[in-house]
Amino acid sequence: MIVSRVRHGDTHTPHSSSRRREAVVPDHALLVFGFIPPDLRATLSERFALVELDRARAAPWTGFDIAVTTGIVGAGRREFDLCPDLRLVVSQGIGLETFDLAEARRRGIAVAHTPDEIAEDVGDAAIAMIYAVLRGTLRADAFVRAGRWGKERIAATRRVAGRTVGIVGLGRIGRHVADRATAIGMRVLYHTRRRAEAPYEWMADVVTLATRSDVLVLACPGGEATRHLVDATVLDALGPDGVLVNVARGSVVDEAALLDALEGGRIHGAALDVFATEPAIDPRFLALDNVVLSPHSASITRETRAAIIARMIDDIDAYRNGRPFFDAAAAP
């Protein structure tokens, strides 16, 4: 980083109101592969020159060894072909399903992401969504705002404690959901491809998990391996008293089947932070009062945003200074 002293004003005396200020001149340019949040862009811009990747440009983007992206945008063969000097891709987010890790590994491109920073807040959000559906938090708010209190009695809701939550995926996020669910008196079951070291009962398949659960929480990776993992069969197994909570990826759920189940009363309700098409979600969701909708914001807290940005900058610094950092492309 180059630091230059910038004198403000034509003259300077010890008693002048002008003071010397330090202006940071970027000494490295980063390619940006797609939309990044304003707070991340602002912080990166303080230290680096940001250049937007134009995928329509025929000429290769030479001279750029670092790129910034998100788990939604990802990076793969197309971006690697366009950027022959690329050696590091830094991503905001936990998801890696939009990255071609094998190709990155083959080309010697490191992929750094933020798997640890969001898990606690997403775990909190999943529990909040369970309460929102079972205890009718949003309905109660709307009931008061509509002036109905005092004129009629609000409908009874459902207790959370004592119910069984089935968690699909017991990684960082899934474990935080399980810890919090246990603390509020819920019984925890889970499904993963292989039994995990955990004090909860493992279910070998999602249909069995749904059959035995009151609430099904999705906390698994996205990608082809889990596409439409929750379909009509799983929803029917969850049943008319069941609740679906999705803080994973929209692709994990067959949304057409979910909408049919919600509209037909085949499940009690749902809370969704992610969707198959974002932000242009299926308008059928907007007409339903048994689904809670959230704009992919389960991880968006001030604390998590600060931690994510700090992690990304630290990974960039580690790469540039030869310090070790976690490379998802090199992980087994």
What are the residue numbers of the active site? 249, 278, 296
Distance, in Å, from the CA atom of 213 to the CA atom of 243, rounded to the nearest integer, reads 9
* Separation between Cα atoms, residue 179 and residue 190, nearest integer Å: 12
Taking a C-beta distance cutoff of 8 angstroms, is the pair 72, 274 a contact?
Answer: no
Task: With CA atoms as reference, report the closest residue to 255 among 228, 222, 233, 234.
Answer: 228
**Using alpha carbons only, what angle is made at residue 105 by residues 104 and 106, rounded to the nearest 5 degrees?**
90
Question: Do 131 and 172 touch, CB atoms closer than 8 A?
Answer: no
Based on C-alpha coordinates, what's the Rg of the chain? 24
Decide: 217 and 170 in contact? Cβ < 8 Å. no
Tokens representing 205 are 């398949």
Counting every residue, how long is the chain? Answer: 332
Q: How far apart are the first and last CA of the chain?
A: 34
Burial class (CB within 10 angstroms; exposed 0-12, middle 13-18, buried 19+) of 146: exposed
Beta bridge mates, 217: 167, 245
